[in-house]
Amino acid sequence: MILVTGGAGFIGSNFVLDWLAVGDEPIVNLDLLTYAGNLENLSSIDDDPRHTFVRGDIGDSKLVAELLHKYTPRAVINFAAESHVDRSIHSPEDFIQTNVVGTFHFLESVRAYWSALDDQSKSGFRFLHVSTDEVYGTLGDKDPAFTETTPYAPNSPYSASKAASDHLVRAYHHTYGLPVLTTNCSNNYGPYHFPEKLIPLCLLNAMAGKPLPIYGDGQQVRDWLFVKDHCSAIRSVLSDGRVGETYNVGGWNEKANLDVVNTLCEILDKLKPRADGVSYKAQITFVKDRPGHDRRYAIDATKIERELGWKPQETFETGIAKTVAWYLENQPWVSNVVSGEYRQWLNKQYS
């Protein structure tokens, strides 16, 4: 079996659902259930004996050691993190605690478990660390896309904390021989995306008749990947990735934020037109920019495509259409997610 962390969050829960849909290997899911973790994402596998959920912290060495000895996973995949850049600007400490200190303790627990395995299990074991393209910093309009050899230059407390965790993972391979793999992925979107992030926030605000907040001039560029394509990339790296290597994951879909929100509005105008017949674009509102806002991210995914034969299945157009349809069809999930804590965040960030 495998152990995943953060499997109740956006990408982790999509990964758990897909893992069980494409194979039969059991999965243990360790998640602290912070504001971003939501067991409702996993309600369709409530009765599936192949999935075991454990609430807990990756930094809780005693708990992690117990889980590793009880379930003897052949691999661990570390999704758990604080993931929202704006929150890292308001409260960086949580990001250092989970992404840096938590990952360190988790690596120590896994190293102790792995060291005691027999030689065959030891060489077959994998520690896959899920990271982000934000560790590479920001690009100018004409710069080539990030490759695996682009120097790290993180600009936000979030990306600095992820960069630190990537360096720790790398060091555990070079120093102790732990068989690690790291993926650095671009912006994901799709089902179960928490509505603090641009795409789900704008979808929910559009339907609620609220402003669609665009930071600064809206010309910042992100490289969008449908979440299920990220999950398939992680499965490819886990099964065929070369130990100690990093793999950039992206969908060759660079878009300016304003274009993304305009596209969302156009899809909604067709699927759920406003009662007054006016386009949702009328709700677009330019607001104060994010401090230190990175201008452009772009992923060169040549290495994973060439070495592992991975390719995204969705274009931005097909993926975003599926995403809008999912949010329209899953209104109960949406209403439950919009909790008291989340409303407080909106007041703090946008008032």
Catalytically active residues are 133-134, 158
257-262: long-range contacts at Cβ-Cβ below 8 A with a sequence spacing of 24 or more? 257/198, 257/214, 257/215, 257/218, 257/219, 257/220, 257/221, 257/222, 258/214, 258/217, 258/218, 258/219, 258/284, 260/198, 260/199, 260/222, 260/224, 260/320, 261/198, 261/202, 261/212, 261/214, 261/218
Q: How many residues bind ligand DAU (CB under 6 A)?
A: 19
- Applying the rule CB under 6 A, the residues between 275 and 294 that interact with ligand NAD are none
CA distance readout (Å), 233 to 58, 209, 230, 314, 342 = 23, 36, 5, 13, 31
Measured torsion, CA atoms of residues 108, 112, 114, 118, in degrees rounded to the nearest 10: 170
Start-end of H helices in 153-284: 157-176, 198-207, 227-240, 257-271
- Applying the rule CB under 6 A, the residues between 93 and 122 that interact with ligand NAD are 98, 102
312-318: long-range contacts at Cβ-Cβ below 8 A with a sequence spacing of 24 or more? 312/225, 312/226, 312/229, 312/233, 312/251, 312/252, 313/226, 313/228, 313/229, 313/232, 314/226, 314/228, 314/229, 314/251, 315/251, 315/253, 316/224, 316/251, 316/253, 316/255, 316/263, 318/226
- The reply on whether position 222 binds ligand NAD by CB under 6 A is no
- The reply on whether position 113 binds ligand DAU by CB under 6 A is no
- The reply on whether position 12 binds ligand NAD by CB under 6 A is yes
- The reply on whether position 191 binds ligand NAD by CB under 6 A is no
Decide whether 285 or 339 has the Cβ nearer to ligand NAD. 339
DSSP states along 199-215: HHHHHHHHHTT--EEEE
Binding mask 175-194 for ligand DAU (x = CB under 6 A): -----------xx-------
Binding mask 131-170 for ligand NAD (x = CB under 6 A): -x-----------------------------x--------
Name the burial class of residue 316, with classes exposed (0-12), middle (13-18) and buried (19+) by CB atoms within 10 angstroms of its CB.
buried
- Applying the rule CB under 6 A, the residues between 42 and 81 that interact with ligand DAU are none
* Among 38, 41, 83, 165, contact with ligand DAU (rule: CB under 6 A): 83
Distance CA 199, CA 184 (A): 20
Decide whether 80 or 260 has the Cβ nearer to ligand NAD. 80
- The reply on whether position 206 binds ligand DAU by CB under 6 A is no
- The reply on whether position 298 binds ligand NAD by CB under 6 A is no
- Applying the rule CB under 6 A, the residues between 71 and 90 that interact with ligand NAD are 79-81, 83
- The reply on whether position 87 binds ligand DAU by CB under 6 A is no
- The reply on whether position 29 binds ligand DAU by CB under 6 A is no
* Among 32, 36, 42, 85, contact with ligand DAU (rule: CB under 6 A): 85
Residue 36 near which of ligand NAD, ligand DAU, none (CB within 5-8 Å, type-dependent) = ligand NAD
Beta carbon of residue 215, minimum distance to ligand DAU (angstroms, whole number)? 4
| Bridge partners for 221 per DSSP | 256, 296
* Among 34, 220, 253, 283, contact with ligand DAU (rule: CB under 6 A): 220
* Among 38, 109, 246, 257, contact with ligand DAU (rule: CB under 6 A): 257
Residue 241 near which of ligand NAD, ligand DAU, none (CB within 5-8 Å, type-dependent) = none
- The reply on whether position 314 binds ligand NAD by CB under 6 A is no
Map 81-107 to HEC letters: CCCCHHHHHHCHHHHHHHHHHHHHHHH
Beta carbon of residue 311, minimum distance to ligand DAU (angstroms, whole number)? 20
Residues lying near ligand NAD in the complex (CB under 6 A): 5-6, 8-12, 30-34, 36-37, 57-59, 79-81, 83, 98, 102, 130, 132, 162, 185, 187-188, 194
Residues lying near ligand DAU in the complex (CB under 6 A): 83-85, 132-134, 186-187, 197-198, 201, 213-215, 220, 222, 257, 290, 297
